[in-house]
Structure 1
């Protein structure tokens, strides 16, 4: 595979060097083809997502298919403006001149995607890479084999196969790909593999974008519309792939005085959403595979954790399903409270005063997303000012990623870089500084031999003195020819 990966990389680099991917017409043609692919193959995409995750058709459309199509259309509308050089002011020291920032494609990029949203998290970075004019290799996740196979089948039918490739496979194939030199690597997944990707990239000084995760907190104040808040939390947790989402709520923080009311509301809403026996609900995704099912079940098999379950906890190994599970005041030294859950378990941490929640969040690693439900404007202001997260949302969860005008990405342990909308274009572009001067406007003061008079003029220029500029343009002190 190492030889094949090298050949693949070299072939794409040769295609890129022909300039094939640079014209706006080529970029737009690929994006239009992707829109057509999504429209024509919606059933195939839904079937693949159902095969990989038992994902309900409505969830597949809302959370993956519609967002992917929307990203394509947004890029098509903005492409020509995004590609234009950005004019910026020229400095007095370079007068007369023009200065621009020219976006140019990085070259040949590698995109390694995740299994939990295997269609959207594969295609959206590809959209950005194409819009920016790059040649692309997509490595879908082998943990979602049906979607990976679908990409391998469909993309060659719809896009330029000389510049856009799909590589299927597991660890061996990914390792071989990482051994090659790329102009950028975009990885979506967990921090453990993220470190492996960074180490491989460092050997070639390749820039990376890492879309990771973390323990996304939800602060629930008592001053809130509880019914609305709980519905939004529930659909953001269990309606997003049954908790298998990087921006799904990982835990709730509320006050000891309010926790009983919150739990009771969660019980009512979950029965309404998934019935008395949620394991039989067709609206609840399964755990992706046996390994992840065993990982999540072990979290609640811990005696210190099992005693804290106040709702749910049922499992069905045959279906790989775990019911929505709520826990209260789980010991902080358990694995459930230490690592990212990435499943249908929702622990609730209680504090005496809701203001303590900000310090609790800041004591841990920076999350990919942080959420707050409150009508208290002061609490909202403190939350926005003092919590560091990749993104945040007040009085809802997850929806910030649907706004293409907002960057989506992590900070610290939750990721490096961002994408979505124009941020995807920027992610795969180099912003090249360009300064253009004519042969006039010579300032003799910049040339040796240096004198006191020249130093005064140069200091004036650096400090923005118009008088010094005039002297420099007039050739003072006079140059002897």
Structure 2
């Protein structure tokens, strides 16, 4: 049965591919040298309708899955070279999440793609109404360096599933990963369907100068504004997955052993280079010192007393970010960690105390293994302060009191939140992942991702049969009759 389905989908894919008898076949060498041409090439190919076939989309996703699984060793080696990622961590956070997302999409794509019928008002007598998910067209995906495979190929999954063409720009800051991503795409897809461009910021800028139908960007808020400004020139919709200063609030009734373990894991995964990592801890004053000691113990359990020697601890991506982080530590009250090695791009898991809201560490997203711990006396006062700051991508609450949990959730908006845990709101790909305000706009993962890359088209079909004259001039229906009929509109 499966073999038959695969054969049918392969045949459908071949039938759906656009014929271009008057145009020589393009290669990826052409693609690298002429961004404008490949953008136009994809637009022309999309207009043929070859991506609309569901069987073609499924076959494309299966091909991507095979390519990712086949490249497992190379992906893990690239992650080690770029970020010092341990194999287990890299597999779980990159490869496993991609494969699971593809499997989920394949299992549900036919259902997601079906038109959704809605009721028609009485005034459109003998009409049927439906919402049809249709592809936007050509899409641009600009990916960051911190989770280079997941955040480049992850958005590509719903882009393909929704029937779009795509151009992917991996980050130049993770060069080994960028090379593997480019190889996977070039070996899996034809450039009229999915293309890839590597390079520095000038390549990204040239891509942004082109007309796309949707732009998906993951990265920092500053560049996010630049992307949005570029998109506005063509009135192109954008999905921005940005960052934020994610608070982690710990109340006195929390289980400190569990809180320390889950906070330390969420913070020091990938050496803190995670957009949803806890950025700082706001602990109730009565338990602040105890929590601090629990964190010190947990770090030692995770990585040993010399984390530099641990095979499970990552490295800073490059010297520029290393310098930025070490400058942030200058003059800070370090209670644990603080050791650095420039040549190895190593910064130890570091706990910092004695801060207030005016300290440079509290000004912007840290994006590294530095964890400030602040104490509070009155939660309501801190909630007012936090509410006046930019909305974060994530919010973490450690408390056993349901009323306190809900009070914090009610007062502090965020892209996502987890109670008595960290990162789990992202790990569960059945939940939407996205920011709010300065931390981004739009969301993806699962059905939400499919919808994000789809235009929800409203379609009404009416019968060509006689009807009353209520809708048409000259208007003779009294207003009192219309008022009574409002419920039927």
Q: Is this a same-fold pair by TM over 0.5?
A: yes
User: Do 1:445 and 1:457's aligned partners in 2 also have CA atoms closer than 8 Å?
Assistant: no
Specify the structure having the higher radius of gyration (Cα).
1
Give me the whole-angstrom Cα distance separating, in 2, the residues matched to 1:442 and 1:259: 74
Matched, 1:218 2:248: yes
User: Do 2:167 and 2:195's aligned partners in 1 also have CA atoms closer than 8 Å?
Assistant: yes
Give me the whole-angstrom Cα distance separating, in 1, the residues matched to 2:471 and 2:339: 78
How far is the alpha carbon of 1:405 from its aligned partner? Answer: 1.9
Partner of 1:24: 54
How far is the alpha carbon of 1:359 from its aligned partner? Answer: 2.5
- SS at 1:94's partner residue? coil
Partner of 1:9: 39
- SS at 2:325's partner residue? helix
Q: Paired residue for 2:259, among 215, 222, 229?
A: 229
Gaps in structure 2 of 5+ consecutive residues:
1-30
Matched, 1:461 2:485: yes
- SS at 1:366's partner residue? coil
How far is the alpha carbon of 1:355 from its aligned partner? Answer: 4.5
> 1:2/1:405 Cα in 2 relative to 1: closer, same or farther (>3 Å)?
closer
Q: Paired residue for 2:465, among 423, 440, 452?
A: 440
How far is the alpha carbon of 1:455 from its aligned partner? Answer: 4.4
Partner of 1:337: 362
How far is the alpha carbon of 1:162 from its aligned partner? Answer: 2.5
Give me the whole-angstrom Cα distance separating, in 2, the residues matched to 1:342 and 1:264: 23
User: Do 1:12 and 1:135's aligned partners in 2 also have CA atoms closer than 8 Å?
Assistant: yes
User: Do 1:35 and 1:69's aligned partners in 2 also have CA atoms closer than 8 Å?
Assistant: yes
Decide which moves more: 94-103 or 187-196: 94-103
Partner of 1:262: 291
Partner of 2:212: 182
Q: Deviations over 1:359-385 (max 9, x none)?
A: 232121100000001111110111222
- SS at 1:185's partner residue? strand
Matched, 1:200 2:230: yes
How far is the alpha carbon of 1:454 from its aligned partner? Answer: 5.2
Give me the whole-angstrom Cα distance separating, in 1, the residues matched to 2:35 and 2:482: 54
Q: Paired residue for 2:135, among 105, 128, 134?
A: 105
How far is the alpha carbon of 1:439 from its aligned partner? Answer: 2.0
Give me the whole-angstrom Cα distance separating, in 1, the residues matched to 2:203 and 2:140: 13
Matched, 1:49 2:73: no
Partner of 2:191: 161
- How many residues are treated as equivalent by the alignment? 459
Partner of 2:168: 138
How far is the alpha carbon of 1:35 from its aligned partner? Answer: 1.3
RMSD: 1.5
For normalisation by structure 2, the TM-score amounts to 0.91
Partner of 2:428: 403
User: Do 1:112 and 1:140's aligned partners in 2 also have CA atoms closer than 8 Å?
Assistant: yes
User: Do 2:355 and 2:374's aligned partners in 1 also have CA atoms closer than 8 Å?
Assistant: yes
- SS at 2:133's partner residue? strand
Q: How does 1:328-477 map to 2 (within 5 A)?
A: 328-440=353-465, 442-451=467-476, 453=477, 455-464=479-488
Give me the whole-angstrom Cα distance separating, in 2, the residues matched to 1:2 and 1:161: 10
- SS at 1:186's partner residue? strand
Q: Deviations over 1:392-413 (max 9, x none)?
A: 0000000111222211000000
Decide which moves more: 327-336 or 30-39: 327-336
Partner of 1:286: 315
How far is the alpha carbon of 1:463 from its aligned partner? Answer: 3.8
How far is the alpha carbon of 1:462 from its aligned partner? Answer: 3.0
Give me the whole-angstrom Cα distance separating, in 2, the residues matched to 1:108 and 1:6: 13
How far is the alpha carbon of 1:348 from its aligned partner? Answer: 1.0
Decide which moves more: 279-288 or 440-449: 440-449
Give me the whole-angstrom Cα distance separating, in 1, the residues matched to 2:107 and 2:380: 43
Give me the whole-angstrom Cα distance separating, in 2, the residues matched to 1:87 and 1:349: 52
How far is the alpha carbon of 1:357 from its aligned partner? Answer: 3.7
Partner of 2:25: none
User: Do 1:217 and 1:253's aligned partners in 2 also have CA atoms closer than 8 Å?
Assistant: yes
Decide which moves more: 337-346 or 384-393: 384-393
Q: Paired residue for 2:304, among 265, 275, 280?
A: 275
Partner of 2:101: 71
Give me the whole-angstrom Cα distance separating, in 2, the residues matched to 1:333 and 1:278: 30
Give me the whole-angstrom Cα distance separating, in 2, the residues matched to 1:440 and 1:395: 61
Partner of 2:152: 122
Q: Deviations over 1:306-356 (max 9, x none)?
A: xx2111111111101100111123132222110100000000121113444
How far is the alpha carbon of 1:221 from its aligned partner? Answer: 1.2
User: Do 2:243 and 2:439's aligned partners in 1 also have CA atoms closer than 8 Å?
Assistant: yes
User: Do 1:372 and 1:380's aligned partners in 2 also have CA atoms closer than 8 Å?
Assistant: yes
Q: Deviations over 1:11-67 (max 9, x none)?
A: 011111111111001100011111111221111111111111011101101111100
Give me the whole-angstrom Cα distance separating, in 2, the residues matched to 1:122 and 1:61: 15
Q: Deviations over 1:82-129 (max 9, x none)?
A: 100111111122122111100000000000001000000001100010
- SS at 1:265's partner residue? helix
